[in-house]
Structures are given as C-alpha cells and as structure tokens.
C-alpha cells in the first residue's frame, strides 16, 4: 500500500461550517492571525485547511478555547479583495479532504497541523432510483443562472458533475439547512453512493424531490 500523502504545519481555519470538495467558501477575514495566514498562503500559492468547530467561536474570545473536527478539507484561494485596511474578502474552493495527525496552536492564536490527505471520491454514476436528486439540483442551478441580479456569486462552481454521486451529494449537503454535525459526518463518509442515499432521504422528507 502506498504511503499517505502528508502536509506538515498546514495552517487551519476553524469555522462553524463544513467545506466539501469542489465547494465554494466565502470569507470575511479581519483577525490578524488569519489576515497573516491568507497573505502567506496567497504568496506561496499554498492551501489552508478548513475544519469544523466543535467548541469555541470563529472569532477568538478571551478565555474560550477552540476545538475542531479531525477531518477537514483543503481550501485553495480563488481571489481576494481588500476593500479597506484590515479586511479581506476571500473566495476559496474545497479540494482534497484530510485527517489531522497532530495539531498545535501558535502564540498569536493560529492553529497548524500535520495532516494526511484522504482519497477523493471515486466517480460513481447516479443510479436510476436517485436521479431525482440530480434533476432537482439541475433545476436549481438553472434557476440561479436566470437570476443574474442576485447578490453575490453563484453558490455552486462549475463544472456541473450532475451524473456523479459524490458531486451531487456534496452540493446538496452545502445547500440544505442541515446541522453542522450531520454535514461533518456526511463529508467524512468514504462511499459517495451512501452519502447520496442519505441526502436523498432528506430531500424526500422535505418534498424537494418526488
């Protein structure tokens, strides 16, 4: 078995959300620890890691410790705007998932971790009994494309992989108002077909797909 691909001292951004591979992440960055991190990542063309908070807050508070899930997603910076000093508007996209093997908090508050990268989803065609999930997502994308005046960018980045279980499941996981703990469990699943089956159950209960 080949050795796992690893990253050392990966800077982490603990958030109250879950980033999925191929997902879009928009951030307002104003804490010094993250302004410095984003600037260094952009200069080096390097990713940072997004992990879901299990304790604490996105903005550091005195006396409140932070804890986070041990599986996260690499984030690759797409573009940065700096409308004023001390503020960055960052757009990034989710890449490969990773598992933390060790972590440490630096003096100025930034978390860094040694991680091993996890295998991406294998391409799995959507079976006939789950095609309603893909068709509903396609209708939603078409609806968003017809609303050019909507605030902000499209919440789903092309290319549309509407015939792939993992891609469709991940986009629904981002869009549905699911608890963060459930999104985290779905993101960690290695089987994209099982992930889509679980998402389909949620869609059916909410009446989004028939």
pLDDT in tens, the chain (210 residues): 345 677 899 999 999 999 999 999 999 999 999 999 999 999 999 999 999 999 988 887 787 789 999 999 999 999 999 999 999 999 999 999 999 999 999 998 999 999 999 999 999 999 999 999 999 999 999 988 887 655 566 789 899 999 999 999 999 999 999 999 999 999 999 999 999 999 999 999 887 765
| Parts of the chain belonging to CATH 2.30.130.40 | 6-117
- What is the predicted pLDDT for the residue at 103? 97
Name the phi and psi angles at 80, rounded to 5. Answer: -135, 135
- What pLDDT is attached to residue 124? 97
- Provide CATH 1.10.4060.10 ranges for the chain: 128-206
CB 10 within 8 A of CB 112: yes
CA distances from residue 22 to 28, 85, 95, 168 in whole angstroms, order as listed: 20, 30, 6, 11
Q: What is the model's pLDDT at position 148?
A: 61
Adjacent-strand bridge partners of 15? 52
Residues 85 and 43: their CA atoms lie apart, in Å, by 18
pLDDT of residue 1: 39
The CATH number for 6-117, chosen from 2.30.110.10, 1.20.1260.10, 2.30.130.40, 3.30.420.40, is 2.30.130.40
The CA-atom distances, in angstroms, between 34 and each of 27, 94, 104, 110, 210 are 10, 18, 15, 7, 44
CATH for 128-206, options being 3.50.50.60, 1.10.1530.10, 1.10.287.990, 1.10.4060.10: 1.10.4060.10
What is the structure's pLDDT at 209? 61
Angstrom distance (rounded) from CA 18 to CA 20: 6
Distance of alpha carbon 7 from alpha carbon 155, whole angstroms:
28
Phi and psi for 52 in degrees, rounded to 5? -85, 130
- Closest to 96 in 3D by CA, of 138, 50, 56: 50
CA dist., res. 73 & res. 78, Å (int): 15
Chain centre to alpha carbon of residue 92: 9
Residues forming beta bridges with residue 26, ordered by sequence position: 91
Q: What pLDDT does 206 receive?
A: 83
Q: Quick one: pLDDT at residue 64? A: 78
């Amino acid at each position: 078995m080949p050795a796992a691909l690893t990253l050392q001292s990966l800077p982490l951004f603990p958030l109250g959300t879950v980033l999925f591979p191929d997902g879009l992440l928009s951030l307002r960055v104003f804490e010094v620890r993250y302004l410095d991190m984003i600037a260094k990542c952009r200069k080096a063309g390097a990713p940072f890691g997004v992990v879901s908070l299990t304790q604490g807050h996105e903005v550091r508070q005195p006396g409140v410790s932070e804890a986070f899930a041990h599986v996260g997603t690499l984030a690759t910076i797409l573009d940065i705007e700096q409308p004023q000093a001390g503020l960055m508007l960052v757009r990034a996209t989710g890449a490969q998932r990773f598992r933390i093997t060790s972590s440490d908090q630096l003096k100025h508050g930034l978390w860094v971790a040694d991680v091993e990268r996890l295998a991406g989803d294998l391409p799995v065609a959507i079976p006939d009994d789950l095609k309603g999930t893909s068709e509903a997502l396609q209708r939603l994308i078409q609806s968003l494309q017809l609303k050019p005046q909507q605030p902000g960018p499209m919440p789903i980045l092309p290319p549309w992989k509407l015939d792939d279980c993992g891609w469709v499941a991940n986009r629904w996981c981002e869009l549905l108002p699911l608890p963060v703990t459930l999104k985290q469990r779905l993101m960690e699943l290695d089987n994209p077909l099982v992930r889509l089956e679980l998402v389909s159950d949620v869609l059916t209960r909410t009446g989004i797909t028939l």
